[in-house]
Chains A and B, each alone.
Chain A
Amino acid sequence: MEIVYALAIGVLAGAGVWLLLRPRTFQVIIGLSLLSYATNLFIFGMGRLTLHRPPIIDEEGAIDAALYADPVPQALVLTAIVIGFATTALFLVVLIALRGLSGTDHVDGRERD
């Protein structure tokens, strides 16, 4: 499981970084989204991979952190997902405004000479 999880993050991050370095704004926005999947999974992985033990306390059982998945990375990632949406939206609007102003979708606002 761990190997698959690590490889998955690697592929997402690699594809994201590749797109990040491309010249078209749409490529960069897709790249950022992929990179944020990778980062979210990475932070989530800090709590290790836990099966069938969501951090929802069973009132009958003993209250012991070792019985549940780590809630802290989950809380972090949850906010990160929402903020990621906000930044994507902002970036998209800047992107299309730039396109409207400069007439190109190159990240620098003008084509490379």
Chain B
Amino acid sequence: MLLTLIIVLPFIGSVCAALLPTNARNAEAWLAGAVAVTCALLVGSQYFAVAGGGVVRTAWAWLPQAGLDVYFRMDAYAWLFALLVSFIGALVVLYARYYMSPEDPVPRFFSFLLAFMGAMLGTILSGNLIQLVVFWELTSLTSFMLIGYWYHLADARRGARMALIVTVGGGFCLLLGMLLLGEIVGSYDLDRVLAAGDAIRAHAWYGPMLVLIVVGVITKSAQFPFHFWLPHAMTAPTPVSAYLHSAAMVKAGVFLLARFWPALHGTGLWFWLICTAGATSLLLGAFSALFQRDMKGVLAYSTISHLGLITLLLGMDTELALVAAVFHMLNHATFKASLFMATGIVDHETGTRDLKRLSGLRHAMPITASIAAVAAGAMAGVPLLNGFLSKEMFFEESIVAGSASEVRFALPLIATLWGIFSVAYSARFIHQVFFGPPARDLPRPPHEPTRGMIVPSALLVVACLLVGVVPAVTLGPLLKEAAFSLLGPDLPEYELAVWHGVSTPFVMSLVALGGGMAFYAFLVKRGLAMMPAPLLSRLDARRAFDLVNVAIVRGADKAAHAIFSSRLQPQLLLIVASALLAAAVALQDTVFVGNAPLTPPDPLFVLLWIGGAACALGAAQQAKFHRFAALTMLGGAGLVTCLTFAWFSAPDLALTQISVEVVTVTLLLLGLRWLPPRILSDDERRRTARARLRRARDLALAVAAGTGFAAITFALLTRPPMLGLASFFVEHALEHGGGRNVVNVILVDFRGFDTLGEITVLGIVALVVYALLRRFRPAPESVDVPDAQREDEAREAAFGAPRDLLPQGYMKVPAVLARLLLPIAAFISFYFLLRGHNAPGGGFVGGLVMATGFIVQYMVGGTIWVESRLKIHPQLWVALGLLAAVGAGMGAWLSSRPFLTAVAADVRLPFVGGVHVSSVLLFDFGVYMLVIGATVLMLVALAHQSLRSPRKRAALDGLTEPLEEPDEALR
């Protein structure tokens, strides 16, 4: 439970932070700081539970069918990292409070920072492989948002995108690797995976699985050959770099590698794969760091190099190397975060991070200078600082390790060379910035920053010193616990001490220190210290990355062009043709006449469908030339369909079909006005050979489709019916559903969830229609008054308006009828709704009837007249309908039954007698309200378009009075 709180708290904080006002820097910092400190305290409180190999576990069933649980698991190793992440998180929040300028929109910053912290803690504490990958990807996403925080800068956007593509690509590989691993072990449970080391290594999939996981790890930890994103991610605000690129995000990779070390290590593939990546990054990063001009660039390459060291240690395959790796992860986090903070201070107070311009800052900012110098000393591995201890362990392991004889000498050599480079770039970093003559042309005169920026950095440096001087009483016990939780009884004896006597590693350290200083002096003397890195600077990873990206996008474009047409007709043609082909292949052996007895055709039914077919064919012919006629005939075909439903014992369908028919035709009628003037006859183009061929082809397809449909229908109808599901529904409708109308019981009870989904879709469509029409711009020629209306006006001009001729207004009779109709429609619709459970009717039909009642008011009275008297608020109906339906579903929870279970009771009311009350009725009432709301919303939105254009016209003509006066007679 507590573990869940540790993960959830930052996410809650993230949401809260996003809701605070833009300039609430203090509130944001207090909130984020409180969350980080609380997390740190919560983690800290678990120490005695995890000490001595204990594991704290919290698990909930997530997808038990797939063997997946939400499983949080904390052992001493995870404990140490969770503490590190939350503690440095708290320091970074304090630092960021003073670093971010008042103009920056801080809610976004702190919101993503907290979300990142939650994702990182989730990665560390996950006990399920899939869940781990989910949190892992979340760290990539949030880090993308943080790197691109200043998205007005092109570099920030580019850097963020590069980091995202590389790390998410790696995350995908990691997911594949984890799936393979889960398959090998037979479980995604971390405990079982860690216990199955021998089985994993013996499995045939070990190779591919390991390669995939390692790709995921080295992309995240910026290791060769995927290291290039990290220097470009330096466009992030410095607090982000201090957090993500020293302590958290980039550590996730090596964290994971160490986590799975017991289960995966000990093979040649492991050794070569990881050592190669680690050793290359180690040297490449350290060498490149020497030649960077940007202070953060130096730190970025140094991070690549130090993570390379950790990776190399993990690859070396000895228990002590693992301990050293974990130790160095912590050490690196402390000194690198502190150095990033110092860099941020310099940047903040002087306005530049350019090593070439900076100089002699120790005079203006002595405190910052000493903090940075100590941290850089730790980075270089100077004795009495924490970096020295882990470096010594690394040197020692480089000698001891190396089962393969060919690396026995290479490893110590690489290690010493790395030591020389590290000392050189650390010295250069401090020397350039803080020593030498004071710089004059800085953008801002340098001075010490506020205490809020110094304190976090100083605290980290104090930690470096404490661990460096008295390791055995500070980090020593914690490290031992962490190592024990990874290795168990295999943990070898070792001692963290500053002085081990004069040993080979100590000599290597001395060589590195002396050699590094000498090398830096040599570079300065030769004037090479400010030049671009020899050889390496020519390898521009960003260019290569961009080229690959562009090639992929172009290739995708070409492929899309080759196989895809953006035109609708070829697409539909392909769809219809392939559907026909698929049906033809599947049905080639079918006998199209079954053995069930045929019923003799009823002459009336034949006559009905002669009319129906004529309507369908007529609509097909006239849809181009005479839209109104086509629409009328479409309505005719719909009517015949409706009668067919009624004929064959489907009263519900008939009712629904006829009411839908009414609203559909009204809808299309409203739309007609916005289409271009109709084509009276075909132009010459129709007569070209190509056009004729096209039409012949389409006709053939249409005939084939129609014949196919008819044949399949006939084949089906001449086979005896299968009762299938019907018997279940018919037998249980009355008993369990409490209704006699089986169709309605299926809709609102048995399959209520489907109906809920359906009405949700209906509501969404109505809102989409409404939203689309708000921005609707009609074609210029449609804005004018329609022809029919113009003819009316002309007639009025000639003979006088009808309302003047008729004493009481010519719309009087229909208007009175329509007004009378509204309460009757309401009454009937309610009647249909209430009786729906036992007789034809229900929410759909009722809703459509009521909506038709409203529409009639609009049609007869005009929009202005109706809306000045009647506020319908269709959006409210949609919302209330959905709420009623969902509420009816949730009512079942009260009696602890699953969602949408019908709850019914028989109540005796005075005078009325026994009444059957059921949550199903409330559900159907929700359907009813939603259907009314959605239908009215769509139709009214469309009808309103005609109002908008006259208004626009009025504005253009300079008229001020409303153009369309409501009919006087109806007042």
Q: Is the CB of B844 within 8 A of A75?
A: no
Q: Give the distance to chain A from B594, nearest Cβ to Cβ, in Å.
A: 9
Q: Is the CB of B623 within 8 A of A51?
A: no
- A72 and B762 contact, Cβ closer than 8 Å, known pairs A21-B572, A44-B650: no
Q: Mostly helix, strand, loop or mixed at chain A's interface?
A: helix
B62 at the interface (CB under 8 A from A): no
Q: Is the CB of A49 within 8 A of B599?
A: yes
- A24 and B623 contact, Cβ closer than 8 Å, known pairs A13-B709, A57-B740: yes
Interface centre among A20, A55, A66, A108 (most CB of B within 10 A): A55
Which residues of A lie under 8 Å from residue B762 when comparing CB positions? 82-83, 86
Which residues of A lie under 8 Å from residue B676 when comparing CB positions? 99, 104-105
Q: Is the CB of B675 within 8 A of A34?
A: no
Binary per-residue interface labels of chain B (686-718) against chain A in the complex, 1 for a CB within 8 Å, 0 otherwise? 000000000000110111011111111110111
Which residues of A lie under 8 Å from residue B17 when comparing CB positions? none
Q: Give the distance to chain B from A92, nearest Cβ to Cβ, in Å.
A: 5
Q: Is the CB of A54 within 8 A of B668?
A: no
Q: Is the CB of B934 within 8 A of A92?
A: no
Output the nearest chain A residue to B754 by Cβ-Cβ distance. A79
Q: Give the distance to chain B from A110, nearest Cβ to Cβ, in Å.
A: 10
- A46 and B730 contact, Cβ closer than 8 Å, known pairs A24-B623, A59-B740, A72-B724: no
Q: Is the CB of A45 within 8 A of B716?
A: yes
Complex CA gap A59/B839 in Å reads 12
- Which of B279-287, B768-776, B857-865 faces chain A? B768-776
B914 at the interface (CB under 8 A from A): no
Complex CA gap A51/B602 in Å reads 12
Output the nearest chain B residue to A94 by Cβ-Cβ distance. B772
Complex CA gap A99/B768 in Å reads 18
Q: Which of B623, B740, B838 contacts A27 (CB 8 A)?
A: B623
Binary per-residue interface labels of chain A (86-113) against chain B in the complex, 1 for a CB within 8 Å, 0 otherwise? 1111101111110111011101100000
B536 at the interface (CB under 8 A from A): no
- A75 and B747 contact, Cβ closer than 8 Å, known pairs A9-B713, A85-B664, A92-B667: yes
Interface positions, chain A 31-72, Cβ under 8 Å from B, are: 31, 33-34, 37-38, 40-42, 44-59, 63-66, 68-72
- Which of B158-166, B629-637, B905-913 faces chain A? B629-637
Complex CA gap A100/B780 in Å reads 8
Q: Is the CB of B772 within 8 A of A56?
A: no
Which residues of B lie under 8 Å from residue A74 when comparing CB positions? 650, 652-653, 743
Which residues of A lie under 8 Å from residue B612 when comparing CB positions? 8, 11-12
Q: Give the distance to chain A from B669, nearest Cβ to Cβ, in Å.
A: 10
Output the nearest chain A residue to B783 by Cβ-Cβ distance. A100
Interface positions, chain B 775-831, Cβ under 8 Å from A, are: 776-779, 782
Q: Give the distance to chain B from A24, nearest Cβ to Cβ, in Å.
A: 6
Q: Is the CB of B934 within 8 A of A30?
A: no
Chain B: number of interface residues, binned into ranges = 35 or more
Q: Is the CB of B725 within 8 A of A38?
A: no
Q: Is the CB of A82 within 8 A of B656?
A: yes
Q: Is the CB of B668 within 8 A of A51?
A: no
B222 at the interface (CB under 8 A from A): no
Q: Give the distance to chain A from B506, nearest Cβ to Cβ, in Å.
A: 77
Q: Is the CB of A1 within 8 A of B698?
A: no
B641 at the interface (CB under 8 A from A): yes
Q: Which of A42, A82, A97 contacts B713 (CB 8 A)?
A: A42
Chain A: number of interface residues, binned into ranges = 35 or more
Which residues of B lie under 8 Å from residue A15 when comparing CB positions? 616-617, 619-620, 702, 706
Q: Is the CB of A57 within 8 A of B698?
A: no
Q: Give the distance to chain B from A61, nearest Cβ to Cβ, in Å.
A: 11
Q: Is the CB of A31 within 8 A of B641?
A: no
Q: Give the distance to chain B from A82, nearest Cβ to Cβ, in Å.
A: 6
Q: Which of A29, A82, A103 contacts B758 (CB 8 A)?
A: A82
- A72 and B746 contact, Cβ closer than 8 Å, known pairs A20-B572, A54-B651, A86-B762: yes
Binary per-residue interface labels of chain A (17-29) against chain B in the complex, 1 for a CB within 8 Å, 0 otherwise? 1111111111111
Interface positions, chain B 614-659, Cβ under 8 Å from A, are: 616-617, 619-620, 623-624, 627, 630-631, 634, 637-638, 640-641, 644-645, 647-653, 656-657
Complex CA gap A58/B733 in Å reads 12
Q: Is the CB of B645 within 8 A of A71?
A: no
Q: Is the CB of B765 within 8 A of A89?
A: yes
B466 at the interface (CB under 8 A from A): no
Q: Is the CB of A65 within 8 A of B707?
A: no
B726 at the interface (CB under 8 A from A): yes
Which residues of B lie under 8 Å from residue A7 when comparing CB positions? 609, 613, 710
Q: Is the CB of B741 within 8 A of A21?
A: no
Q: Is the CB of B675 within 8 A of A81?
A: no
- A86 and B650 contact, Cβ closer than 8 Å, known pairs A2-B598, A21-B569, A34-B619: no
Q: Is the CB of A34 within 8 A of B667?
A: no
Q: Is the CB of B710 within 8 A of A9?
A: yes
Q: Give the distance to chain A from B848, nearest Cβ to Cβ, in Å.
A: 8
- A1 and B598 contact, Cβ closer than 8 Å, known pairs A49-B648, A88-B664: yes
Q: Is the CB of A30 within 8 A of B656?
A: no
Q: Give the distance to chain B from A59, nearest Cβ to Cβ, in Å.
A: 7
Can you list 29 A-B contacts with CB-CB less than 8 angstroms, sorted by A residue number? A6-B710, A9-B713, A10-B706, A10-B707, A10-B710, A10-B711, A14-B702, A20-B572, A24-B624, A26-B675, A27-B623, A29-B668, A34-B620, A41-B641, A44-B645, A45-B716, A48-B717, A51-B648, A55-B742, A58-B740, A72-B724, A72-B725, A75-B747, A86-B766, A97-B776, A107-B568, A108-B566, A108-B567, A108-B568
Binding site for A on B (CB under 8 A): 566-569, 572-573, 576, 598-602, 605-606, 609, 612-613, 616-617, 619-620, 623-624, 627, 630-631, 634, 637-638, 640-641, 644-645, 647-653, 656-657, 660, 663-664, 667-668, 671, 674-676, 698-699, 701-703, 705-714, 716-718, 721, 723-727, 729-731, 733-734, 740-743, 746-747, 751, 754-755, 758, 761-762, 765-766, 768-769, 772-773, 776-779, 782, 838-840, 844, 931, 934-935, 938, 942
Closest 6 CB pairs of A and B: A14-B706, A10-B710, A18-B702, A65-B727, A6-B714, A15-B620
Knowing that A2-B717, A81-B656, A92-B671 are A-B contacts, what are 12 other residue pairs whose CB atoms are under 8 Å apart, sorted by A's residue number? A1-B600, A12-B613, A15-B620, A18-B701, A20-B572, A21-B572, A31-B623, A34-B616, A54-B649, A56-B651, A56-B838, A96-B671
